[in-house]
């Protein structure tokens, strides 16, 4: 039984953590209209590639006899477009760079070593975040867009 759903808190913390990573921000760039790093819960219409968006989420109870917890899965999608000259290689490289950087920033968090910024959720106890699945990179049916995703699992204690 999930007593207190932490999904929205987790998504907000995950986005803030990804946006704060300078290397990832340099790969995806910023939206010219808003100046925001292009990492979205849902991307605005007509957002130029590359960008990262959150996809499906799933939740299940992760509790013990004396505390409640939750496992939250979220799909993090990485999108890139081939160059105007038709060369697909840069888009493939960009999408792979995004996926690798997301994994480097999020996998095995919270990092208590001090070697990298720790991922935390305000008012929650993040026990572990890790990449549990990494898709192959595919060319979408439009023939222009490379797309891959990572599935990230977070174990969150509620007290």
Residue 25 tokens read as: 């921000």
Domain that holds residue 140: 7-157
- Supply angle C-alpha 95, 101, 102, rounded to 5: 90
> What's the mean pLDDT in 36-53?
94
Give the pLDDT band (50/70/90) at residue 24.
very high
| CB contact set of 26 (below 8 Å; sequence gap of 6+) | none
At residue 75, the pLDDT reads 98
**More confident: 89 or 145:** 145
Domain with residue 142: its CATH number is 3.30.2000.30
> What's the mean pLDDT in 105-122?
91
Write the DSSP symbol of residue 30: B
Residue 115, domain member (yes or no): yes
Q: What pTM value is reported for the model?
A: 0.90
Distance between CA atoms of residues 135 and 148, nearest Å: 6
* C-alpha of 153 from chain center: 10
At residue 85, the pLDDT reads 60
Residue 85, domain member (yes or no): yes
**More confident: 66 or 155:** 155
- Predicted confidence (pLDDT) per residue in 48-62, tens digit: 999 999 999 999 988
Residue 2, domain member (yes or no): no
Residue 113 tokens read as: 């070593």
Q: What are the respective helix, strand and coil percentages of the chain, to the nearest 5?
A: 25, 35, 40
Q: Which helix (H) or strand (E) holds 94?
A: helix 89-106
At residue 104, the pLDDT reads 95
User: Does residue 29 register a pLDDT over 70?
Assistant: yes
At residue 79, the pLDDT reads 95
Give the pLDDT band (50/70/90) at residue 66.
confident
Residue 36, domain member (yes or no): yes
User: How many structural domains is the chain composed of?
Assistant: 1
Residue 116, domain member (yes or no): yes
Residue 144, domain member (yes or no): yes
At residue 37, the pLDDT reads 97
Q: What is the largest CA-CA distance in the chain?
A: 60
* C-alpha of 146 from chain center: 17
**More confident: 101 or 86:** 101
- Predicted confidence (pLDDT) per residue in 101-112, tens digit: 999 999 999 888
């Amino acid at each position: 039984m999930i007593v207190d759903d932490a999904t929205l808190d987790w998504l907000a913390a995950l986005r803030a953590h990804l946006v704060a990573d300078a290397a990832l921000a340099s790969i995806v760039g910023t939206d010219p209209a808003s100046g925001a790093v292009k990492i979205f819960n849902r991307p605005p219409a007509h957002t130029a590639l590359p960008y990262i968006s959150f996809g499906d989420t799933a939740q299940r109870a992760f509790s013990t006899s004396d505390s409640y917890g939750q496992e939250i899965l979220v799909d993090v999608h990485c999108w890139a477009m081939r160059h105007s000259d038709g060369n697909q290689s840069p888009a493939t490289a960009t999408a792979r760079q995004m996926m690798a950087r997301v994994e480097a920033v999020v996998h095995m968090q919270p990092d208590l070593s001090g070697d990298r910024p720790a991922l935390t959720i305000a008012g929650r106890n993040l026990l572990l975040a890790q990449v549990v699945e990494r898709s192959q990179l595919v060319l979408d049916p439009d023939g222009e867009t490379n797309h891959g995703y990572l599935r990230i699992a977070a174990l969150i204690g509620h007290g």
